Structure 1
Amino acid sequence: MSVSSLVTLAILALLVFAVVGAFNQLVTLRNRYQNAFAQIEVQLKRRYDLIPNLVETAKAYLQHERETLEAVIAARNAAVAGLKAAAAEPGGAAAMARLAGAEGALGGALGRLNVTLEAYPDLKASQNMQQLTEELSSTENKVAFARQAYNDAVMEYNTYKQSFPAVLLAPSFGHKVNATPLEFADSKLIQDAPKVAF
């Protein structure tokens, strides 16, 4: 073999390794942000499971506040539907927007419930209510951490996908659309866990 043939083979081998490396890195980063979204899903499901218990505990005390309780349950159900849509397409812009909107509505409903609960000192003193609100606050913190990890993974994926040589190869590997971070309408409120005080 001549030197030019060896150089050509070496260049082709390097190109093959670069293409394979770019493909593997794109797959790794996509799987990382999808896994990070799965962590959000786990925490949001836990949150959604706590809300009916909170409402049930409050029902006995809040007999005249049925509309508030029904609004919380309706917002929770909408958030569950938003989470299912987002789980089917983690990173999809429409799915993330729907989930963010549902979470905003749920946060508003829970805020109205908290204001209502302030008028019921017996409920605030209830052991069950205190335990549920503590679990809910803890879950809110976990949601915030999981959301941050997801957004970091999305940023890493999008950055790599937009860098050279991945920007040339990504579309042919099926990585055409950037992943969308999960942003809420009021990021300041979502960064601070809701204050549920009794």
Structure 2
Amino acid sequence: MFNDLLTAVPITAALSGNLIATLIFVAILVVLGFIVIGMYNKLVSFRERSKNAFAQIDVQLERRYDLIPNLVETAKGYMAHEKETLESVMAARASATQARVHVGGDPSNMAAMGELASAEGALTGALGRLMAVAEAYPDLKANQNMMQLTEELTATENKVAFARQGYNDAATRYNEYKQQFPPVLIANIFGFSDSAYLDLDDSPEKREAVKVQF
């Protein structure tokens, strides 16, 4: 019987050792699980902040596109001989509107974001040319509706610039965190894509170009 007890002690010790090892392994898995969940949630949070910041740009772009037809219609009554200039503005607006639709509120769509930046640049250029031509029409410059629309358009341009800066800052924070280790592993496993930066030529000089000097 004494021999049986001596034999049982190593077995019990071995079982206890295996149990401890199993518990340690499970504890490590639990800790790793919490770390993974934490990084995943942080990635989601940064990504959503980036999307929300882009939504602020989207709202102002929509407002900009809504103002342009009224602006062109008002100018048309005074600029009958500037048909090409007016049509170029509307064509640029149509391209920008389509590009905005292609983005669909998803700033991770690199191609669509590039298309939007290009279309916005063309639209800003077309508006600048329209306003330059409008300088030669004093009656148009004195039109109250034209004055109001121009002021609203300029204010919207400023809001777009401000919102774009906020979006690019949010995109930078998200992209930088996503590229760190180990978050990059989680991002790759779960398919997190970079947020594209929106590069628009919205310098003060460009924004001033869409404003008629009254």
Q: Same fold (TM over 0.5)?
A: yes
- 1:44 and 1:87 mapped to 2: Cα distance? 13
Contact 2:74 2:146 in 1 (8 A): yes
**CA-CA distance at 1:91 after TM superposition:** 2.4
Q: Which among 203, 208, 214 is matched to residue 191 of structure 1?
A: 203
- The equivalences for 1:87-166 within 5 A come to 87=104, 89-166=106-183
| 2:68 corresponds to 1:54 | no
Contact 1:75–1:105, Cα closer than 8 Å, also in 2: yes
Deviation of the 1:164 alpha carbon: 1.7
Contact 1:37 1:87 in 2 (8 A): no
User: CA–CA distance in 1 between the matches of 2:120 and 2:101?
Assistant: 13
Give the root-mean-square deviation of aligned CA atoms.
Answer: 1.6
* Maintained 8 Å contact 1:82/1:102: yes
- Deviation track 1:140-195 (CA, whole Å, cap 9, x = no partner) reads 011011111111111111111111211111111111x32210013xx4xx131234
Structure 1 position 26, deviation (Å): 1.1
Q: SS at 1:194's partner residue?
A: helix
Q: CA deviation at 1:105?
A: 0.7
Count of paired positions: 193
Q: Which has the larger radius of gyration?
A: 2
Alignment of 1:58-69 (within 5 A): 58-69=75-86
| Structure 1 residue 88 displacement after superposition | 5.2
The structural deviation recorded for 1:4 is 4.7
Give the distance between the partners of 1:75 and 1:139, measured in 2 at CA.
17
Query: So what's the TM-score if we normalise by structure 1?
Result: 0.91
Quote how far apart the aligned CAs of 1:116 are: 0.6
Answering whether residue 14 of structure 2 is matched by residue 14 of structure 1, we say no
Residue 183 of structure 1 aligns to a residue in which SS? coil
List aligned pairs for 1:65-80, cutoff 5 A: 65-80=82-97
Q: Which amino acid aligns with 1:68?
A: T
How much identity, in percent, do the aligned residues show?
A: 57
Query: TM-score, normalized by length of structure 2?
Result: 0.85
User: C-alpha distance in 2, partners of 1:105/1:167?
Assistant: 36
Q: Of residues 170, 180, 198 in structure 2, which corresponds to 1:182?
A: 198
Work out the CA distance in 1 between the residues paired with 2:103 and 2:79.
33
Q: Which amino acid is the alignment partner of residue 203 of structure 2?
A: Q
> In 2, Cα distance between the equivalents of 1:194 and 1:85?
28
Determine if contact 1:154/1:179 at 8 Å carries over to the other structure.
Answer: yes
Gaps of 5+ in 1: none
